[in-house]
Amino acid sequence: MTVPPAPQQIPARPADVPVFQIKATKHTGAMILWHSRSVTVNAPYNHCMQELSDAQTWCTLMGWWSPVSLVMNPITMAGNARQRKELHRQAGEAQAYSQWWVDNYGQHDPSVQVWVAPEYRPPRRWWLWIPIGLFCLIAMLMLVVIVIGLISGAGKDKSKGASSYESMPAPVAQIWDGPAPAPPTVVRLG
């Protein structure tokens, strides 16, 4: 007796809108404190891209304001850039699976369309240059102050061995070292 062949198992139908998973991190620096917050997002492609763009914008504006953040913020921004690459990789896999399924099993369900990752164009953010401009302005002001200090000779002692107070001119008014003066005499006229 022969066993009839088993019906062909059809793989899972691709989702009309695939869901991706990313981890977006926002870093905040505040004088001597800093804080990093990570959020795992399970959402469609456009939502994930928007979340990563928001995190990068946040890091660019708010992530530089403490000494520790000068090291931590670039690490956070690099991590967000890696997550964006990972999202593109996941989107490529979802598109390839969707295409493969339609090519091989699309005749069973003609309503399935090949999913194509939408083109993402982040909005222009001209104001992201403000922190960089402020940093350059502060650096230039510090450089000007240092140059003025070097030109004026601040920090140099012109006479060898003398402190800067000894090289100052003598005060105009002298302090009385003798006995206290007598009170003025009152003279009556008339």
- 24, 38 Cβ separation under 8 angstroms: yes
Per-residue pLDDT, averaged over 36-56, amounts to 93
Per-residue pLDDT, averaged over 150-171, amounts to 63
pTM of the model as a whole: 0.60
Per-residue pLDDT, averaged over 4-27, amounts to 82
pLDDT attached to residue 68: 84
- Mean pLDDT score across all residues of the chain: 80
- 80, 59 Cβ separation under 8 angstroms: yes
Looking at the chain, the whole-number percentage of residues with pLDDT higher than 70 is: 76
The CA distance from 57 to 124, in Å, is 11
Inform me whether the pLDDT recorded for 161 exceeds 60: no
The CA distance from 22 to 45, in Å, is 10
Beta-strand pair 20-30/33-43: antiparallel
Inform me whether the pLDDT recorded for 134 exceeds 90: no
pLDDT attached to residue 154: 63
pLDDT attached to residue 114: 82
The CA distance from 103 to 91, in Å, is 18
165 vs 71, higher pLDDT: 71
pLDDT attached to residue 170: 66
In the chain, domain spans: 20-122, 124-155
Per-residue pLDDT, averaged over 166-171, amounts to 64
